[in-house]
């Protein structure tokens, strides 16, 4: 018996407009951003959310590493055992607008305990169906592996790893 194949969508694309102070999510919804902060190594975003499971989102977009690290502030009853959620993809810095293209793989960091890789099946299906080309698929896998390795080498502490590579981050 074979398992059901995952439903594969094109890569999720988001925009982060620093002038308009908006974040356009993958479904095209325009979200007002409470706070943007640009650093030489990345972009910090903090905004309210109208999601049933979480009410606030903080993210660091780090183009040179190919990651977006987030903290979801969950609503009561929807808490998850995670400290950081990391998306793997292509992240592009623009003068006033940044963009992201998610490449399916995600990591869940439990500080001091573990870093878990998710959605490998989605990446493989996207590759098999031609949604992601071989070079992009390989880059996503290598990015996930190097990110896991870096975080694990710092006792599964995202902030410690990023500080060690010259990208000190802070959250609200």
Q: Any idea where the domains of the chain sit in the sequence?
A: 13-164
Degrees to nearest 5, angle at CA 165 with 162 and 171 = 25
pTM value is 0.94
User: Helix, strand or coil for residue 85?
Assistant: strand
Cα–Cα distance for residue pair 108/28, rounded to 1 Å: 25
pLDDT at residue 138, rounded to an integer = 98
Q: What is the pLDDT of residue 2?
A: 53
Check if the beta carbon of residue 105 is closer than 8 Å to that of residue 123: yes
Determine the pLDDT at residue 4: 66
Residue identified by tokens 């989605």 is 122
How close are the terminal C-alpha atoms of the chain, in Å? 48
Q: What is the mean pLDDT of each run of 10 residues along the chain (172 residues)?
A: 70 98 95 98 95 91 98 84 96 97 98 98 96 98 98 98 98 93
pLDDT at 81: 84
Question: Could you give the CA distance from residue 26 to residue 46 in angstroms, rounded to a whole number?
Answer: 17
Distance of alpha carbon 8 from alpha carbon 13, whole angstroms: 14
Secondary structure letter of residue 12 according to DSSP = P
Token reading at 63 = 């183009």
Nearest CA among 128, 57, 61, 72 for reference residue 99: 61
- State whether CATH 2.40.380.10 applies to domain 13-164: yes
């Amino acid at each position: 018996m074979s398992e059901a194949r995952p439903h594969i969508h094109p890569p999720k694309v988001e925009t982060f407009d620093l002038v308009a102070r908006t974040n356009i999510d993958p479904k095209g919804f325009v979200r007002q951003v409470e706070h943007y902060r640009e650093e030489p190594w990345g972009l910090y975003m903090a905004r309210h959310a109208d999601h049933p499971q979480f009410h606030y989102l903080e993210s660091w977009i780090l183009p040179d590493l190919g990651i977006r690290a987030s903290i979801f502030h969950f609503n009561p009853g929807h808490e998850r055992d995670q400290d950081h959620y990391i998306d793997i993809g292509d992240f592009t810095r623009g003068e006033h607008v940044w963009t992201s293209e998610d490449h399916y793989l995600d990591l869940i960091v439990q500080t001091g305990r573990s870093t878990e890789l998710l959605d490998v099946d989605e990446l493989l299906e996207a590759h098999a169906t031609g949604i992601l080309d071989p070079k992009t698929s390989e880059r996503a896998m290598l990015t996930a592996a190097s990110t896991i390795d870096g975080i694990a080498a710092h006792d599964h502490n995202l902030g410690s790893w990023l500080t060690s590579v010259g990208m000190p981050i802070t959250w609200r």
